[in-house]
Amino acid sequence: MHISLAVWIATIAVLVLAVAADLWHGIKYPHAIKTREAAIWVGGIVLASVLFGIGLWAFTSHQFGSEFFAGWITEYSLSVDNLFVFVIILTKFKVPRAYQSQVLLWGVIMALVLRGGFIAAGSAIISKFSWIFYVFGAFLIYTAVKLATGHGDEGDFKENRLLKQVKKTIKTTDDYDGARLVTHAGGHRRFTPMLIVMVAIGSTDLLFALDSIPAIFGLTKEPYIVFTANAFALLGLRQLYFLLGALMDRLVHLSYGLSVILGFIGVKMVFEALHSSGVEHIGPVTIPTIGIAASLSVIIGVLAITTVTSLWSTRRSAAAAAAGGDGGGSGDGAAEGAVDGQVDGKVKGEVVSEGASGAEGGITAVDGNRTRGATRADLGSDLGSDTEAGSTLKRK
């Protein structure tokens, strides 16, 4: 697949204009995004993604169109997993709801820049060293196993070394000043906690990229498809946060579904590495070739099953809790026991009200979800996700 420099420039220019317009609108009209507005944005971005994929399908080849859809769906599903940790960060920093949208947008911008560098580096390494697929594949399989089998209290967000260094170097005020990064305090210009929150969001997404970027390279080796699939997945992340809201705690089987997808892609990469090394058989067993159509089917199928079983499980839990309350037991205790038993350490939702209770102003704090953010602490990335238990974000 040959993409000319002009197409690259045009793609990046359109992306920059879209992000700039979104940023301008968010700064000029700061507000808490309502469900209807978020749904319109997410629907528009999904439609644009589908049209882009159809364009690749029509003007390049069916192969590249399928690779884009497989990569985009994978990245988008992994982005949903990111939201669990974003909820924890925004909750722990007590970011005002009206400014959460701007924080997430700046996080998306940082993620696009950082992932662009990752993609460029990954493409260069893959083009020169085919054996790197063994490393990527083994890493994804290991991540999948950790994600599926890990247990424990992961409610506390682990500070990575970059975030710790920023907090140590930069002294911030105790209070926010709108969405400003810098304010006047005691006759001096001081940074606000908003800067620390943005660094936390951006660096966390970079840690997530450690498995999402190798995962998409397992589906396509075309840098243009890798970049555009990541861009479309990230562009809708901010609005998706507000659209899902309290519904995220119902996706109780998401971690298992993502572990299956990452493990599948890891195995696929190892098979491709063996083929490229001239190994077609292991004893009497022929090493299969997994095509993009099979990959796309597995990804969509796993996500569909995960969603259905999650909704069914939470609905059954709610019914059991209601039945327990009617049976004369303690209503609160029955509900808590049902949720704890069904979630099994995966997801516990707690709605934190900012001001008045109601449909507006609530943010969901997700405690105990075994996300890739927690797994990243176990794997020990270069940014250094800290493995010491109990390290939580505290505002200066």
**What pLDDT band is residue 198 in, cutting at 50, 70 and 90?**
confident
Contact by Cβ (8 Å): 179, 194: yes
Whether 340 has a pLDDT exceeding 50, the answer reads no
Whether 151 has a pLDDT exceeding 80, the answer reads no
Whether 234 has a pLDDT exceeding 90, the answer reads no
Cut 0.85: pTM above it: no
Q: What is the pLDDT of residues 28-39, one digit of tens each?
A: 777 777 878 888
Pairwise pLDDT comparison (135 vs 210), residue with the higher score: 135
pLDDT of 10: 93
Range picked from 159-173, 247-261, 347-361 for highest mean pLDDT: 247-261
Whether 205 has a pLDDT exceeding 80, the answer reads no
Whether 81 has a pLDDT exceeding 90, the answer reads no
**What pLDDT band is residue 362 in, cutting at 50, 70 and 90?**
very low
pLDDT of 160: 64
Range picked from 109-118, 255-264, 325-334 for highest mean pLDDT: 255-264
Average pLDDT in the 132-153 region? 79
Of 354, 92, 40, give the one whose Cα is nearest residue 201. 92
Whether 363 has a pLDDT exceeding 50, the answer reads no
| Alpha-carbon distances, residue 26 vs 100, 194, 387 (angstroms) | 10, 15, 36
Average pLDDT in the 102-115 region? 79
Q: What is the pLDDT of residues 47-68, one digit of tens each?
A: 999 999 999 999 888 899 999 9
| Alpha-carbon distances, residue 75 vs 82, 230, 338, 342 (angstroms) | 10, 6, 32, 27
First to last CA, the chain: 50
Pairwise pLDDT comparison (84 vs 291), residue with the higher score: 291
pLDDT of 159: 64
The mean predicted confidence, pLDDT, of the chain is 75
pLDDT of 337: 44
Contact by Cβ (8 Å): 130, 252: no
Average pLDDT in the 347-355 region? 37
Q: What are 208's two structure tokens? A: 């997530």
Whether 69 has a pLDDT exceeding 90, the answer reads yes
